[in-house]
Amino acid sequence: MILILFGAPGCGKGTQALRLVEERGLVQLSSGEMLRSAIAVGSELGLRAKEIMDRGDLMSDDIIVGMVAERLDAPECANGVILDGFPRTVAQAKALDKMLCARGIGIDHVIEIKVDEASLFARIENRAAESGGARSDDNADTLRNRLAVYHENTAPLLPYYEAQGLLRSVDGMASVEGVASRVAEVVG
Ligand code: ADP
């Protein structure tokens, strides 16, 4: 099973992905987490990523696509994966289609978690406070840019997947439980 969790920064993709990992044994592939690990180990990729992520901009499609492709072939992914934060551009979505096609598989569902944008600032502020500022991109200035980048580069994926009949939307303003049960309905 290939699931894509889709939505604006702070919409709850990571939270729902974790539930799916625990409940269904799927593997979560989060491009943001992969980049944060690269930053944590201080690799060359990490150094480059830090600057871009702190601004709220996107890493280059080639780097991200290569990074995800490598992980997709890991044996633990054979059961199915949840893509969280990837694809984020139409170019990434096209690269993903090619990648999956070459492996003879396809996307099962693209689940959009819809949230009211004003609430995202409060959520991100909350996350920053709870984590003791663990993510340096969790602040109002960077979030404003992350949202602008989301609208410009990522939102065009909605019609892309709608046209393929893959898009399912859930109300991300519901409780974590509420969202999880709608996601469960979609996944079946
Ligand atoms: P968010 O909470 O915004 O969904 P993520 O943890 O998914 O955060 O990503 C954090 C940052 O990592 C992004 O703002 C971007 O700089 C970089 N990033 C993550 N995934 C991608 C991707 N698919 N393409 C390009 N950049 C990415």
Distance 162 CA to ligand 1 centre (A): 22
| Predicted local confidence at residue 57, as pLDDT | 98
- Ordered structural domains, the chain, with CATH: 2-187 (3.40.50.300)
Question: What's the predicted TM-score (pTM) here?
Answer: 0.95
Active site residues: 13, 88, 127, 135, 146
pLDDT one-digit tens code per residue, 63-92 = 999 999 999 999 999 989 999 999 999 999
Distance 99 CA to ligand 1 centre (A): 20
> CB neighbours of 80 closer than 8 A, spacing ≥ 6?
1, 2, 3, 24, 25, 26, 27
| Predicted local confidence at residue 164, as pLDDT | 97
Distance 50 CA to ligand 1 centre (A): 11
Query: CA–CA separation, 185 vs 188, rounded Å?
Result: 5
User: Does residue 5 have its Cβ closer than 6 Å to ligand 1?
Assistant: no
Average pLDDT over residues 170-184: 97
Which atom of ligand 1 is least distant from the CA of 146? 14
| Predicted local confidence at residue 79, as pLDDT | 87
